[in-house]
Structure 1
Amino acid sequence: MRREWIISLSISLLLLAGGGWAVFYVTDYISSQLKADTVLNQAPEKTEDNGEKVPKKTKDIIYESQKLVVQIELEDGSIGSGFLYNNQGDIITNAHVVANHEKVSVMTADSKKMEGEVIGVSRDTDVAVVRVSGLKDKEPLPVREEETAELLDEVLALGSPLGLQNTVTRGEISGLNRNLSIEPFEYEDVYQISAPISPGNSGGPLLDGKTGEVIGINSAKIGKESIGFSIPIADVLPMVRKWSETPMKSLPEFPELKDQELQSPVAGTKAEQATYLVQYFYNSINQGDFVTAYSLLSSEWQEQTSFEEFRSGYYNTLAVSVDNIVADPNEDGVEVTVFLTAEETKDGEVVVKKYKVTYPVQYENKSLKIMNGQGKELTSQVDE
C-alpha cells in the first residue's frame, strides 16, 4: 500500500485571497523570494523531424513561455496568475484566484489589459478556466498530457509573485503524491516543488525545465520554507476541457472565502512596470522577435516608423545586453534610461559599442507603451 503524506490545514491559516491574490499559505505570509532566479545555462530539448533531441537554452524556453503567462487582476486589487492552454483564448488558473467572480482583468506580458470571463470553476479541485476573447487563435503553451514527472526533475515556476509580472524561479520536483486539505479544496497526488513561489504565483504554470511543457499549476506553499505544491496538469485536463467545450451556465459560490482577511496587494510600482517593459523590449530584440518588440511602441512612434524601418535598424546588430536601467517616475509616466552594450557588424567585422538610451514610458489605451526613444553612443566614461 502506497504511503501518503497527508497535511490537514485550517482555512484560517491559509487563504490569502478569496478574490485571488496569492499562493495559498500553510503558515504565515512571506515577503521574500521576489527576484527571479534567472536561468540561462541549462539545456532544454526539442524534437527535430528526425526524432533526435537537440539542446535548447532555458532562456529561450522562458522567453517563449512568458508571452503566454498572464497576470489576473480583480476589482479589489487582488492578483493571481494564469496561462493559455488552448487556441480558444482559455486561461487555466486556480479556483481560489477567481472565486466569487464572473469577470476578471487579464494583463499580458506586453502590458495589454483584456477582459476575461470565468467559464468554469471547481468547488473541490483548486482549478478554474477564464476565457479571454482577445487571446483567441493564439498558439498556447505545450501541455504534457500524461503525468510522468519524477523526483529531482528540473522545473521552472512562472507567475506574478507580489505583482512582479512574469517572474521565473527554478527548482526541482522534491516530492510526489502529496495530499493536503485546504478548505474547501482537496489536493490529491500533487507535486512538491523546491522552486520558490510567493503571493501572486497562484495559477501560474510549472514547466518541465528540459522541454518547456506545462506539467503543473502552482497552488500552495508552506510558510517560509521553499516548499511549494503544484497540481499535475494531466489530472485536471479532462475537467478544464469540458468547461472549454461547454462553459458552466452558473458558477459555484465560495461563501467561506468571502470573509477571509485579504493581504494588501503589492503590485509592481510604475517604475518597476516600466523597467520590466523596456527589459522585455530588449529580450524580444535578442530573440529576433521584432513583431513583439514593435508592438511595445506607442501608436505615434509606429506611425512615424514602419515595421520594416524598425526591423532594418537592427540588421547589423548581433546581440544587445542591458548593463543598467534607471527608472524615474514623473507626472506623465516614467522616464527609463538604459545603458547598453551592443555587438554589431561593420565591414565584416564584429565591433562592440556602448549606448545610452532614454525612453518615456506611459499608458496608451490601458496598455503600457514606449512612447519614443533618444539615444547616443558612449565614447568614454565621461559620457555616462
Structure 2
Amino acid sequence: MKRSWLFSVLVSIMIIGGGIAGVFYITNAVPEQMSMSAVLDDPAKEGAEGNEVPKETQDIIFESQKLVVQIELEDGTIGSGFLYNEKGDVITNAHVVANQENVKVVTADSKKMPGEVIGISRDTDVAVVRVAGLKGKKPLPIRQDGSVELLDEVLALGSPLGLQNTVTRGEISGLDRTLDIEPFHYKNMYQISAPISPGNSGGPLLDRETGEVIGINSAKLDEETIGFSIPIGDILPVVERWSESPMKSLPEFPELEEQVQSPVTGTDAEQATYLVQYFYDSINQGDFVTAYSLLSSSWQEDISFEDFRSGYNNTLTVQVDNLVADPQGDHVEVTAFLTAEETVEGEVEMKKYKVVYPVKTENQSVKIWSGKGEELDTENEEE
C-alpha cells in the first residue's frame, strides 16, 4: 500500500513497528547536514555482479536469526526484538509495546511464548520484554564501544509486514541524526540504506563483518530507502537498569493509542513456506538439531534424531529452487523443488527432488508434519 508524498514539500517519517503504520511528522526537521554529510547508496541488489552473499555473512545471519523474535500484540499488530541477555530479556522499541504489559513472542522456529514488559521509556524509544522461555539462551553479541563509521556494511533483521526473519543489507549512510516524533526524542541516530518496513521496529542492526549488534532499527523516511537506528551503546545503561530492577509500574502512551494499526500480513501459506525454507537453511548450515526441532512430534516419534541426521550423511548442499504453498483447510501443503549435491560412490552428483510437506500448527507452533518425496528425471527436464 504505497503512498505518494512530495518530499520537497514535506518530510515525513514513519514509525515502523508494533503495527503502527501511521505517518508522523518531524517537529524538528531532519537537519540540513543530511544532504551534505550523508552518503546515500542504493541497497545491494540481489544477483548483481560481485554481490553474492559471502559464506561468513550467511553464517552470521543464520546464527543471529535464532535470537531475533517477532513480537505480537492482542490486536494483531507486530514488531521485532532480539535477545539481550541470558535472563531472557528482549530489547525492542517502546512504540512496539506501548500501553501493553504482556505480549506474545514468536521465535525463529515458530514457538510462541508469553513476554512481560519490564521496562519502557517515554523519552527514548526503547523497551525490554522478559521472556521466561528464553532464559538461559546465549544472547546476540553487543558492541559496547559504539565505534561505527560511514559506509560500514550492515544487516537489518526483523519481521517487516509480519514476514518473520527477513534480512536486508545496506550501509551506514549518515551519523548523528536528530529526530523528534512525539513522545520520543531521537538523537545520535545512525542513518542506514538497508530497506526496512513496518514490523522491523525493535529488530537489531548488525555489523556485517562481526555480527555484533550496533543499533535498534526504529524509523524510516516514508517511501524512501532511508532508515534510522538507535545506537545500542546509547541505551545499554537504562536497559541494564531495567534488567536488574524491573519497573513496578509502566508509563502510558496516550499519543499512540489513536494511531492506525497494521495487521500481521504473514499468511498461513507464507509462514509455511518460510518454515520449509528455514528447515533447509538449517540443513545447509549443518544445524541438524534446529532442523529436527521443526518436525512434528509424531514425525519425531517415527524417526530418531540419529537416523534423521544420518539421512544427510551423503548430502553436501541442498538448494531450494521453488516452494509452492497450497492451503488445505487445517494445514498448508508445501511442495519443495530441490537441487541436491550428493556424493555417490565417491563421486559428486547433482540430483533434483520434489518433496511435499504438510505444515500445520502443533501446540501453538508451526511444524512440518511429514514429508513425501520423489527424485525427478533431470535428463527429461533438460530435453
TM-score normalised by length of structure 2: 0.88
Q: How far is the alpha carbon of 1:41 from its aligned partner? A: 3.5
The answer on whether the counterparts of 2:193 and 2:226 sit within 8 Å (CA) in structure 1 is: yes
The answer on whether the counterparts of 2:15 and 2:220 sit within 8 Å (CA) in structure 1 is: no
How far apart, CA to CA, are the structure 1 residues paired with 2:240 and 2:282? Answer: 32
The answer on whether the counterparts of 1:25 and 1:222 sit within 8 Å (CA) in structure 2 is: no
Given the superposition, is the C-alpha separation of residues 305 and 283 from structure 1 closer, same or farther in structure 2, using an over 3 Å criterion? same
Match of 2:280 among 282, 295, 298: 282
Aligned to 1:75: 74
Cα deviations across residues 282-336 of structure 1 (Å, max 9, x unaligned)?
Answer: 0000000000000000000001101001001001111110111111001121000
How far apart, CA to CA, are the structure 2 residues paired with 1:80 and 1:23? Answer: 11
1:178 is aligned with what amino acid?
A: R
Q: How far is the alpha carbon of 1:60 from its aligned partner? A: 1.1
Q: How far is the alpha carbon of 1:337 from its aligned partner? A: 0.5
Cα deviations across residues 66-122 of structure 1 (Å, max 9, x unaligned)?
Answer: 111000000011100000011111100000000000000001111111000000000
Given the superposition, is the C-alpha separation of residues 293 and 69 from structure 1 closer, same or farther in structure 2, using an over 3 Å criterion? same
Given the superposition, is the C-alpha separation of residues 316 and 16 from structure 1 closer, same or farther in structure 2, using an over 3 Å criterion? closer
The answer on whether the counterparts of 2:353 and 2:376 sit within 8 Å (CA) in structure 1 is: yes
Aligned to 2:368: 370
Q: How far is the alpha carbon of 1:264 from its aligned partner? A: 3.0
How far apart, CA to CA, are the structure 2 residues paired with 1:230 and 1:13? Answer: 13
How far apart, CA to CA, are the structure 2 residues paired with 1:163 and 1:96? Answer: 16
The answer on whether the counterparts of 2:13 and 2:219 sit within 8 Å (CA) in structure 1 is: no
Q: How far is the alpha carbon of 1:62 from its aligned partner? A: 0.7
Aligned to 2:333: 335
Aligned to 2:32: none
How far apart, CA to CA, are the structure 2 residues paired with 1:210 and 1:25? Answer: 33
Stretch moving more, 278-287 or 265-274: 265-274
Aligned to 1:90: 89
- Within-5 A mapping of 1:51-70: 57-70=56-69
1:257 is aligned with what amino acid?
A: L
How far apart, CA to CA, are the structure 2 residues paired with 1:152 and 1:58? Answer: 17
Aligned to 2:31: none
Question: Where does structure 1 lack aligned partners over 5 or more consecutive residues?
Answer: 1-9, 29-34, 44-55
Stretch moving more, 143-152 or 347-356: 347-356
How far apart, CA to CA, are the structure 2 residues paired with 1:206 and 1:36? Answer: 19
Aligned to 1:32: none
How far apart, CA to CA, are the structure 2 residues paired with 1:161 and 1:320? Answer: 27
The answer on whether the counterparts of 1:37 and 1:168 sit within 8 Å (CA) in structure 2 is: no
1:126 is aligned with what amino acid?
A: D
1:247 is aligned with what amino acid?
A: P
TM-score normalised by length of structure 1: 0.87
The answer on whether the counterparts of 2:16 and 2:197 sit within 8 Å (CA) in structure 1 is: no
Aligned to 1:153: 152
Given the superposition, is the C-alpha separation of residues 114 and 383 from structure 1 closer, same or farther in structure 2, using an over 3 Å criterion? farther
Please give the secondary structure, in 2, of the residue aligned with 1:303: helix
How far apart, CA to CA, are the structure 1 residues paired with 2:280 and 2:238? Answer: 39
Please give the secondary structure, in 2, of the residue aligned with 1:62: helix
- Within-5 A mapping of 1:1-384: 14=14, 20-22=18-20, 25-26=23-24, 41-43=52-54, 57-260=56-259, 262-380=260-378
Cα deviations across residues 129-166 of structure 1 (Å, max 9, x unaligned)?
Answer: 00000011111111100111001110110011100111
Aligned to 1:50: none
Q: How far is the alpha carbon of 1:381 from its aligned partner? A: 6.6
The answer on whether the counterparts of 1:144 and 1:213 sit within 8 Å (CA) in structure 2 is: yes
Please give the secondary structure, in 1, of the residue aligned with 2:262: coil
RMSD, matched Cα: 2.4
Q: How far is the alpha carbon of 1:379 from its aligned partner? A: 1.8
The answer on whether the counterparts of 1:22 and 1:202 sit within 8 Å (CA) in structure 2 is: no
Please give the secondary structure, in 2, of the residue aligned with 1:211: coil
How far apart, CA to CA, are the structure 1 residues paired with 2:180 and 2:341? Answer: 53
How far apart, CA to CA, are the structure 2 residues paired with 1:118 and 1:293? Answer: 31
Q: How far is the alpha carbon of 1:256 from its aligned partner? A: 1.4
2:278 is aligned with what amino acid?
A: Y
How far apart, CA to CA, are the structure 2 residues paired with 1:276 and 1:13? Answer: 30
Cα deviations across residues 177-203 of structure 1 (Å, max 9, x unaligned)?
Answer: 111101100001110111110000000
The answer on whether the counterparts of 2:13 and 2:221 sit within 8 Å (CA) in structure 1 is: no
How far apart, CA to CA, are the structure 2 residues paired with 1:126 and 1:36? Answer: 31
How many residues in Structure 1 have an aligned counterpart in Structure 2?
354
Structure 1 moving runs of 4+ over 2 Å = 12-17, 22-28, 35-43, 380-384
Please give the secondary structure, in 1, of the residue aligned with 2:129: strand
Q: How far is the alpha carbon of 1:37 from its aligned partner? A: 6.0
2:79 is aligned with what amino acid?
A: G
1:72 is aligned with what amino acid?
A: I
1:225 is aligned with what amino acid?
A: E
Please give the secondary structure, in 1, of the residue aligned with 2:290: helix
Please give the secondary structure, in 1, of the residue aligned with 2:252: coil
The answer on whether the counterparts of 1:93 and 1:129 sit within 8 Å (CA) in structure 2 is: yes
Given the superposition, is the C-alpha separation of residues 102 and 195 from structure 1 closer, same or farther in structure 2, using an over 3 Å criterion? same
How far apart, CA to CA, are the structure 1 residues paired with 2:214 and 2:136? Answer: 22
Aligned to 1:5: none
How far apart, CA to CA, are the structure 2 residues paired with 1:15 and 1:288? Answer: 37
How far apart, CA to CA, are the structure 2 residues paired with 1:197 and 1:124? Answer: 23
Please give the secondary structure, in 2, of the residue aligned with 1:375: strand
How far apart, CA to CA, are the structure 2 residues paired with 1:66 and 1:38? Answer: 22
Aligned to 1:6: none
Given the superposition, is the C-alpha separation of residues 257 and 16 from structure 1 closer, same or farther in structure 2, using an over 3 Å criterion? farther
